[in-house]
Structure 1
Amino acid sequence: MDGLSPDDPGWIGNYRLLGRLGEGGMGRVYLARSDRGRTVAVKVVQEQLARKPDFRRRFAQEVKAAQRVGGEWTAPVLDADTEAATPWVATGYVAGPSLAEVVDKQYGPLPPNSVRALGIGLVRALQAIHGAGLVHRDLKPSNVLVTIDGPRVIDFGIARALDPAMQSTDGLTMTGAVVGSPGFMSPEQVRGERVTYASDVFCLGAVLAYTASGKLPFGTGEGGIHSLLYRIASEEPDLAGVPAPWDQLIASCLAKDPSQRPSLETLLARIESMEDTGGAWLPGEVLAELGRHAVRLLNSEDPESRQGAPGAQLPQSHALAARAQAHAQAHAPAPAHASAQAPAPQAPVQGFGPPVSYDPAHNPSPPPWQQSPPPGSLHAGSPPPGSLRPPPHYFSPRPPARSARGLGIGLSLLLGLYTLPLLIRGAVLGEAYLRLDAQGGDANPGVIQDYDVLTLATDALDLFESAVGLALLIVWPLWFQRMRNNADAFAPVRLRFAPGMAAGAWFIPGVNLFMPKQLTNDIWTATAGRARGAGRWLMHTWWWCWIGYVLAYANSFFSDWYGNETASEAMADIIDMQIAACAGVVSAVAAVFFVKRLTSMQQTRIAEARGIGTA
């Protein structure tokens, strides 16, 4: 970890910055301490991304969704300010190196027992992430942190916000932009296709292969990134060095067809059935290094804290250091071997751990970023006294998606039944029109043949239509509300209107001519997983047929052909009623196709989610 540079702020939100943990495609990452003493990692978005309104919107949505992911197997999202000049998000700090660091620099390929524990932890982390409606999209060894309690997954959901920021105005990925890490991308990511939960299963297989063998299953990018991406999309993985039975399990995860990959529930059962040799989940050398870094975290001081001030050291760091040292003493190798393997005590592993505390015996003066300001002054970027905000509000979890097949079938039957009185009334009105036309324009409508039968049939059909319409007024909002709730489960916090408006908007005059369409657009996009295509023309066709029927029905609502004094006036009313009947039939038929398509799309999403054990 590096110290703060002069252009770094002293505070971000409620968090006092201690140093830089790294810098990447999204922005800078700082180690920080909250006003209550918790150690966190604060990620600040790059300025060019902050200037993109679409990225800000997606970033805010992803942060809210990520706040609902539990912290047992992930680094929990604690706080964020998506409206700041440079948006930021704070996550729990995980005191451990990345899996890439452990395999590449500290130990090498991990033993089968460690791979088993890692696989269980990563599967459960993905279950929590998918359960919040997120796809990680960038699961790789550097996004998996190793702790004494097991692995922790970081950066979930943020790649999804970064994805559209890397696209051009026509929706295609910009030249040279790659969303994801090439060695751990799924074939559908390489081909620019829709990314589903199954993509994370592929990435999980690549991570397990790397952990067990120390090699990437599709090789490195030394021969060019395009050749690497081609191998991922078209060639079989190289699993040489992966011990049995892990090779078969990993091969199933790396299937090219997403539908052929196992679900997370199946993976968890298969991994848990493998032999557990007992003991610590990590080798002794790695545990010893974790203990040394936990001690450094305990001994680190806030650059702006007074020496000896209460709260200068973190309570959770005491427990962490004690547990890490206990593990290290129990599982570390002999001292001579340890000294040969471990770096010097004052040389923290790059990109991991807090800064080494200032030691006046070896340094004449602390570095500038650790120097305290004059008494009574504030560090640049510090919030004024009393301005710190209360802890963030945590969002309650959304209910899981529920099948709407029964409601969809019932609604389709009612819509089909609704066309019956419209068709019969059209025939009755046509017969009345012909008989009125034969009498002349000034004749009284009552003189036509079978006048009483025609009027009775017209009233009976109006009553039949009203009864079926009342049933539709009950079932349609129930179905539409279910569609809206499911869409919120598929893509949390993406819908623009409150859940109650899904049913209520249909009954508000004027509002029902535009707001249901906005809700439908959101539902369709959340269900399809993309903003364009997916048979969206059907939704537009249904909507404009509905608008046409509403207008035609309103125009003929007060029409009563047999209440007119002349045949010409009655014939004009019949024409209006016939137009409304035709519009009603067309609208009902279009609605049947729309209901069946949207219900089927959501049923497919629910089946996919159940297949990975997240619904």
Structure 2
Amino acid sequence: MDSLGPDDPRRVGSYQLLGRLGEGGMGRVYLARSERGRTAAVKLVKAELAREPEFRRRFTQEITAARRVGGEWTAPVLDADTHAATPWVATGYVAGPSLHEVVAKDHGPLPDASVRALAGGLARALQAIHAAGLVHRDLKPSNILVTIDGPRVIDFGIARALDSVTAAGDGLTRTGAVIGSPGFMSPEQVRGERVTAASDVFCLGTVLAFAATGRMPFGTEDSGAHALMFRIAAEEPELSGIEGELRTVIERCLAKEPDARPQVAELVALTEEAARLKPWLPGALLELLARRAVELLDAETPQAAGGMTGTAGAAPAYGPPLTGAGPGPYGHTGMQPQHHQPYGAPPHAQQHRPAAYGTAPTAHPPPYRTPPPYGQTGWQTPHPPLPLRPRAVRPVATALQVLLGIYAAFVCLQVIQEINLLVLLGEDGADTWYMAEDLDRMENFTAGNVLLFMVCAVLWSVWFYRLRTNSEAFAPGQVRYSTGLAVGSWFIPVAQFWFPLQIANDIFRISSPFPHHARPPAGYGPRPVTYGKGVLNFWWATWVATMVLALVTAEDWEVGSSIDSAIQIVLLDLLFSFVLIVTSIMALLAVQQLTTLQDQRLKGTV
């Protein structure tokens, strides 16, 4: 890691930069720390790319999809601002060298067992990436980080955005914007054909061959880009030194035709046992990783303590100016609002997870400075809150669906009673007006309706609250309003007509397996269940109609001033009952859809 230079910003969004990690075709990468103490890798896009509207559009789409990539084999997307003057993205920082460094500089080729474990981890990373509707497009040793727990894939979901601006108007390729590294490209990329998930499988084969032999399977770095790409498209790989089942797997991955390559699901099954190998690296390499981790901690401390304060001539921060007074935890003043965050979430809603696993949170500083916890000074990193764990929704949802079905059936019986009452009022006139038996029966139905509705409301609140808290765990800070409002907003006048729908829309968006503009590559394993928003929207329309009708049907039919007025009241009650039946059925379907979506997230199938 290099120190920050005079041209480097000191802050990006809510992240304080600590040092420069590297620079590539897309931009510079910095080591950073959030307001909550989370270490991250922040990538700033080059200015010439930021000026391209097509790049921004693709970049926004790919980052949206990349946020959905979870699992332990990738570095999660923590935060991004694709609309800033200089777009940026923050991912979880993985404290480990790249596979290229390990093989080419530090250790040499990995033993067979380690390469098998590497194959298992990378196959699972690709499975998560493809399930989010992404193709990596640039899987190479420098985009794979080596940790004690296994490999981690980085820079997924970005190459496609860069691909949109590689060709200039004259058909030439722009400097620094080549998609894919020549030695680790697929034949489809070389020929400029459509890139699918099978392209990543080919790249996986080249990576495994490099890890096992220490050399690229289609030539050396001195061969030249054109020679490498010709061999990839037309010649067989050089795999001497690789034997047995591992060689068979690599050869299948390196098939020239995409349809001849194994699917990721098959690779996951083939490497099931190898992926669980612990430790997966030789002892000398484990010692090296431990030493690197200690060096990283030593390098961060002075930079964090002194390097974060703005210096003369330093580049300004990306984002709004700092406000407030008093020294912050890292030497800056005040707190910086996160202008790019779409919804304001309260500070207590943000949760942290371990750096190598799952989806990490987006930092949300409070609107005012708060004193540090007891036993901490202003210069220490705040203790992170305990992680928010998602909980199963299906048991509560099943009970709620049964109750909704019973309630709909009960209202159907009430409809029959109301129709009978209309007939009696029309036939018997005034004699029916004071029929005690009919009056008692209607009162019993009304009491039963109210009781069942209250039980449904309680169970509905529990179910909706659990959906809201699970969504916060899946995507911290991305759900509007607090968890308390997930229950309270249903009972707040005026707010009940709008707030619950906004929360439900966020739950639907976060729980869905991928955005509507991104779909898993064709033919790549089973697709998760998906839904449109038609049921959700229609259910909400019927619910609003139910609330409005409840206000205008509050009058009892027996207090009408005449038979005609009593008939009008019963007709309104009948309309209300019909709408209530439809609302109950649509609510049952909405419960089924939202619960199914969250079940998939909880089971890790999306």
> Does TM, scored on the shorter chain, surpass 0.5?
yes
Aligned length: 488
CA distance in 1, matches of 2:461, 2:180: 40
Please state how far the C-alpha of 1:126 moved relative to its aligned partner. 6.3
Question: Structure 1 residues 104 and 583, CA, compared in 2 at 3 Å: closer, same or farther?
Answer: same
Equivalent of residue 515 in structure 1, options 486, 489, 499? 499
SS of equivalent to 1:281:
helix
Q: In the alignment, does 2:313 pair up with 1:316?
A: no
Q: Which amino acid aligns with 1:590?
A: M
Cα distance in structure 2, aligned partners of 1:165 and 1:508 = 47
State the Cα distance separating 1:554 from its structure 2 match: 2.3
Write the mapping of 1:243-322 to structure 2, written as runs, cut at 5 A.
243-247=243-247, 256-257=262-263, 259-262=265-268, 266-267=272-273, 271-272=277-278, 279-281=283-285, 316=298
Selected match of 1:400 from 384, 389, 392: 389
Q: CA deviation at 1:104?
A: 5.9
Report if the CA contact (8 A) 1:58-1:161 is conserved. yes
1:569 aligns with 2:569: no
Counterpart position of 1:580: 576
Question: Structure 1 residues 101, 412: closer, same or farther in 2, change over 3 A?
Answer: same
Give the superposition deviation at 1:266. Answer: 3.5
In 1, are the aligned partners of 2:217 and 2:239 still within 8 Å (CA)?
Answer: yes
In the aligned structure 2, how far is the partner of 1:568 from the partner of 1:165? Answer: 72
Alpha-carbon separation, structure 2, partners of 1:601 and 1:386: 44
> SS state of the match for residue 29, structure 1?
strand
Check the 8 A contact 1:481/1:503 in 2, yes or no. yes
Correspondence 1:23 to 2:12: no
Q: State the match for 2:484 in structure 1.
A: 500
How far is the alpha carbon of 1:457 from its aligned partner? Answer: 1.5
C-alpha displacement at 1:475, in angstroms?
0.7
Give me the CA root mean square deviation: 6.1
Contact 2:65 2:514 in 1 (8 A): no
For 1:144, the equivalent position in structure 2 comes to: 144
1:448 to 427, 432, 442: 432
Q: Secondary structure at the match of 1:24?
A: coil
Cα offsets for 1:131-185 (capped at 9, x unmatched): xx999956541123468x7877474xx64588789889xxxxxxx9999889589
1:458 and 1:22, CA in 2 relative to 1: closer, same or farther beyond 3 A? same
Query: Which protein has the larger Cα radius of gyration, Structure 1 or Structure 2?
Result: 1
Shift of 1:227: 12
Identify unmatched segments of 5+ residues in structure 2.
166-172, 255-260, 302-309, 333-378, 517-529
Query: 2:551 aligned with 1:554, yes or no?
Result: yes
Within 2, Cα distance between the matches of 1:489 and 1:252?
39
Matched, 1:545 2:545: no
Q: TM-score, normalised by structure 1?
A: 0.60
Query: 1:372 corresponds to which residue?
Result: none
Shift of 1:499: 2.1
Deviation of the 1:571 alpha carbon: 0.8
Alpha-carbon distance between aligned partners in 1 of 2:156 and 2:211, rounded to the nearest angstrom: 23
Secondary structure in structure 2 of the residue aligned to 1:280 = helix
Give % identity. 30
Q: CA deviation at 1:546?
A: 1.7
Task: Give the distance between the partners of 2:457 and 2:205, measured in 1 at CA.
Answer: 49
Matching residue of 2:111: 111
Q: Unaligned stretches of 5+ in structure 1?
A: 169-175, 299-313, 320-375
Q: What residue identity is the alignment partner of 1:549?
A: T
Match of 1:592 in 2: 588
Matched, 1:604 2:600: yes
In the TM superposition, 1:342-421 aligns within 5 A as: 378-381=312-315, 388-389=331-332, 396=385, 398-421=387-410
Q: For 2:89 and 2:487, locate their aligned partners in 1 and report how far apart those are by CA, in whole Å.
A: 36
1: CA distance between counterparts of 2:141 and 2:401? 49
Equivalent in the alignment of 1:337: none
- Aligned counterparts of 1:515 and 1:95: Cα–Cα separation in 2: 44
Q: Which residue of 1 aligns with 2:212?
A: 212
Q: Is the 8 A contact 1:436 1:448 kept in 2?
A: yes
Paired residue for 1:44? 44
Q: Equivalent residue for 2:453?
A: 469
Distance 2:494 2:2 in 1: 59
Aligned residues of 2:107 and 2:285 also touching (Cα < 8 A)? no
Residue 151 and residue 587 in structure 1: after superposition, are their counterparts in 2 closer, same or farther (change >3 A)?
closer
Deviation, 1:469, is 0.6
Q: TM-score, normalised by structure 2?
A: 0.60
2:421 maps to which of 415, 432, 440: 432
